[in-house]
A and B are shown apart, each in its own frame.
Chain A
Amino acid sequence: MNAPFRTPTGGRVDRGATRRFSFDGRSYDGLAGDTLASALLSHGVHLVGRSFKYHRPRGFLAAGSEEPNALTSVNRGGGRVTPNLRMTQVELYDGMEARSQNHWPSLAFDVGAVNGLMSPIFAAGFYYKTFMGPKFMRGPGLWAKLFEPAIRRAAGLGVAADEGDPDVYANRFVHCDVLVVGAGPAGIAAALAAGRAGKQIILCDEGAELGGALLAEPKLEIEGRPAAAWLAATLRDLAAMPNVTALPRTQAFGYYGHNLVALAERLTDHLPGVDTTVPRERMWQVRAAEVVLATGAIERPLVFPGNDRPGVMLAEAGRVFLNRYGVKAGSRAVVATAHDSAYRVALDLQAAGVTIAAIVDLRERPTGPLVEQARGAGLRIVTGGTVMGTKGHWRVSEATVAHVSGDHVTDLQRIPCDLLLMSGGWTPSIHLFSQSRGVIAYDTATEMFIPGKAVQAQRSAGSCRGLFGFADVLADGYAAGLDAAGAAGGDAPALGDKAFAVRGDDAYGPGGFSGALPISGDGARAKAFVDFQNDVTAKDIKLATREGFRSIEHIKRYTTTGMATDQGKTSNLNALAIAAKALNEPVPAVGLTTFRQPFTPVTFGTFAGMSRGQMFDPVRQTPIHDWAAAHGAEFEDVSLWKRAHYFPEPGEDMHAAVDRECRRTRESAGLFDASTLGKIEVAGPDAAEFLNRLYPNSWTKLGVGRCRYGLMLNEAGFIMDDGVVGRLAPDRFHVTTTTGGAPRVLNHMEDYLQTEFPDLKVWLTSTTDQWAVIAVQGPRARDILLPLIDDVDMSAAAMPHMAIRLGHICGVPMRLFRVSFTGELGFEVNVPADYGRAVWEAIWSEGRAYDAVAYGTEAMHVLRAEKGYIIVGQDTDGTMTPDDVGLGGMVAKQKPDFVGMRSLTRPFLTGEGRKQLVGLLPDDDAIVLDEGAQIVDRAEVPNGTHALGHVTSSYRSGVVGRSIALAVVERGRSRMGETLFIPMPGGSIPAKIVSPVFYDPQGERLNG
């Protein structure tokens, strides 16, 4: 296919290697080495997107990662859709399918462009005014008909895939002596120096090829060789150093504390086809002893009306497309500039056959070698000139140029063109430096923000710190590399600074212009864009200052300038200059906004790495899990555990299954897998004293072979966990915790043991996973277990409630607890986890004779609620004391100290009006209250009604024959018999306050 804008020779593309691709369904071809941008430009395609807010036609602004307009979605099939990629970074491969974004139904005919006609309502602060403005703005009619559809259409750029991402992503943690970010001339020289010093180096660059600006310099010579040859030789030298790792296609996107820099490496997106055996991207978390930032500089656009039309691009981008990709971005160019570097662009383009219609220089008297060269080449230069506007529907066709003096313009003239190249000068890329919390300095001489004092072990080199000219940049990079190598410590050969002989560099320096170019008239409808991606104009920023915003951080949020995915790479300085001028303050006094990670967007896959699906979070299963699954259990997640929720029989729903499980347990027996309970072995000569200090109960008098229910308090006196503590030996206790609380409780114990009571000789060991726990509950519990245990006397007299025995079950070592969380006769059989399933099945077999059931966590909840037993975290919320839940009696009165003791005497915890645990019976015994529902003292609930408490647990109870609930209510224990109300959308539900013990209030069944 004919690519009319491809030069016959030149560039780094491989002219023998055609790459076919499609864009918006139309087929094109490009060359190996092209980006999607350069390939499209070789066919003269400039219209590649619609803008975010006004849906204006947009083309390419830049040639690199700073591109705000030319975003694409690349679809590789099977859910492999990546939106919002910058076409200027997308490497072309054969068969690529790319689409433009943010338009409907097509790029050329976009309904959303009507937004441009409504631009007055989309001005600065539109979102704030709409969401928070006067009510008529938020009225349902306007909202539903106008604003919401507009916002929905405007919100978001590309469309994410609606299938799961089938690719794999990798993650790597590495340490190195020196990390060099950016492999342009400064970065390569830095890596060369540090590499020669023998340090472990990582050199990374966002580009497909290392080299940065050197990749677009056909006339430059370094050390007597063409730049390309020097680059190739130097990269070979670096590759030969085993201590240097060079990473192309690797974006350093975040600089974090203690010199941790995050890199995103793209491994396969540039390759045709899909290879699922290699990761698509890799996240590197690099901990560097020293960092060299060589991140370069970004050219600034000029802000004039119509500066966003396709065919208007940054001047250097035109040069990069020509010199690196062999593509002319147009055939007749106007170059608008405030800086010498655009002259170099004009000269290169002219040499390639592009007509330079005019150079419009904002400066009255531009001087310097490049200006002289341009004059010598016969280029027409309009000095003291500005661009007043552009014309052209899908692409620029004309620039309106004028002379400017002060705020007045004269001599308007229209210059036909199909390319408008602009340069406001160069902005050092200090994003990563700012992320590292370095202090940004403003250099008044050059009017640039540059890195000031570093606060981490790093230094900046080259144009990111305001240097220009290859000789200076190379030498600076080399010196920075040596400095970093020296600072990294250890032995290093003494290397001196190095000068690089450079020829053919058309030197230019700092300077340029930031802000909005002067225009005639009030420019009320003129759209001079500052932030191209978020469609923020100069007028928007001025409006924000008129509406009273003075802080640049507020102006940024109000106008959304700099808040798009490009993070304002091309816009921040212009926005700042416009705001400063409007506020009549110097630029450094207004200051920059904070630069944030990531520098360029990073895929979710890269962050997630391997942490997805089964690998997202560990899943804990008990030794009895597979048995439960085989017996039809439905599972629920409790912290990381999978717990059997209930065991439905054919035809049963959850309610029927739970009802049966509860009934059979109370009538005969039920088996419950309690293996998830946290278990901590507390051992040592001071174990009892340690528990005395950790729990409000007294443990000293607890005999060996006995256990006791313990409430664990935090230092503030509030219940944090509960469980049973059994004494196995004078110096050994078996402590249980709630399922989710085990790590927290162990941490709490370790904290006090290590830091408050270090004098105590105690060892703490987590044994949660060591023991399988089988609860056998119900009047037949003993009958079921008896045949399996022959070395423990389980009679009621020999083994009363709250006794522990060591013995064997089915020949397996066992800790047998006689405990009950159901109110029935109950045992908990602890066996080594590996025997859990076998012992469970043995007990299950015995249980068949009694028609015993396996019950799940739902039945467990109902059974304990019928008895008024609390679940910490459900019936308590971190503000409940033992007395609040009716367990004040277990707090020892005579202990010198325990955690929480002092707090329990605070007036707030002892005063009147505390919420107390009570039972609640709705008048209508069929109503099961909503857990979490509020409780008030009146049926009608005007706004401001005081809530007395809330429902904490609520179930339908088979054995009670009605619905029951637990609740916490102010002064609840003094309200027995009172009727309170639970206001619900369908009306208030009256309910009576009762004792929280609904079943067997005397507790006789425990002693069976």
Chain B
Amino acid sequence: MNAPDSKPFSTQFGHLGSEPLSIESMTSKEYFELEREKIFKKSWLNVGRVEDLPEPGDYRVQSIAILQSSLLIVRGDDRRIRAFHNVCRHRGNEITSGCGNARGFSCDFHGWTYSNQGELAFVPDEGQFFDLDKSQLGLPAVHCETWNGFIFINAAPKPAESLTEYLGGLGDQLKDFPFDQMVPMHTLEAEVNANWKVIIDAFQESYHAGFVHRLTAGDMLDPDSDDPYMHLSSVRLFGPHRSASVPMNPDYVAQNRPAEMLSYQLASSLWLQSGAMQQQFMPGTNPGNHKHWLFDINVCFPNFFVDVANGWFFTYHFWPIAVDKTLWQYRFYMIPPADAGEAISREYSKLALRDLLREDLNTVEATQRGLMSGAIKEIHLSDQEVAVRHQYKVVEQLVRG
């Protein structure tokens, strides 16, 4: 049965081991608090793309439970995007909420006013204060850098490395993908009753596809081929980040599904990208140069995915709320439709992935219930679940380190 070469990832990444893993990090409140301090308050975290804030003065407030913070992300009149704590220097009131466009922000409590570049511009009845140095009292800044149009923040007083250094090899792999040629098609969001890592796990292996997605993606697996379980084609580890390539079933046909077939005929779209096999792959994709390639899973540690394919990409954010509760968010981007035929085709792409994601989210809640029951103490991972193993190893090292 198990020929040695049927477990390539354990050879390639021998340092990760092969032992069962403890479930403590998925169920323990104490562990969750350690993750907050040792991971989330020190890592570069994605908070969207530059196109979200196209004009000077565009801003939005993002409350991030795991940071116990509300952040104001704003493009200043100088066009630079910055992040601040949404906290007034006077007595700590929150400055603003929601999103919009503003020249500045005025605190509701006593009217201290800040520019959209964060400087304290005006203090009512300033003469009553003692030695107030307004130049030192701008909004409390949060480190903010962009990479390829993605905005990241880092809540550490002094981040250990720049964003580019942090992204490392994952950034190199993705640097030429044409992110800026694609537009968001929709956003999906749910509060999911599961640990953030448990949810991530469901999106970084292909083992579950034939079971959880037997209806929505069952035809992606070919039981008569030499790859009946849709094995990952290749895996790359980049420090805390990871990347895996998922294969395409070359014999996929949407049998008895005329509407789905139509979506492939009308445009280069979701799975059957008109002649995907012969097509040139977009830069930043398929680094293993696999012949039958579907898409790459790209996990930017700790809580952000940028999965890329030929002509589309999507992001996931997993924002931890509690040890067993996570705000999950998905955004799907495609090349904008040029005509009605492409718009109709893209509509199918959108909803096919959407329906499939509801299968994943249902499963992870059931998994978390099982873990919380205390019935098992550890989980057993196959070679195919190397990305899952990598995540727990990275987290454990940071939490205990």
Tell me whether A and B are bound partners.
no
**B contact residues vs A (CB 8 Å cutoff):** none
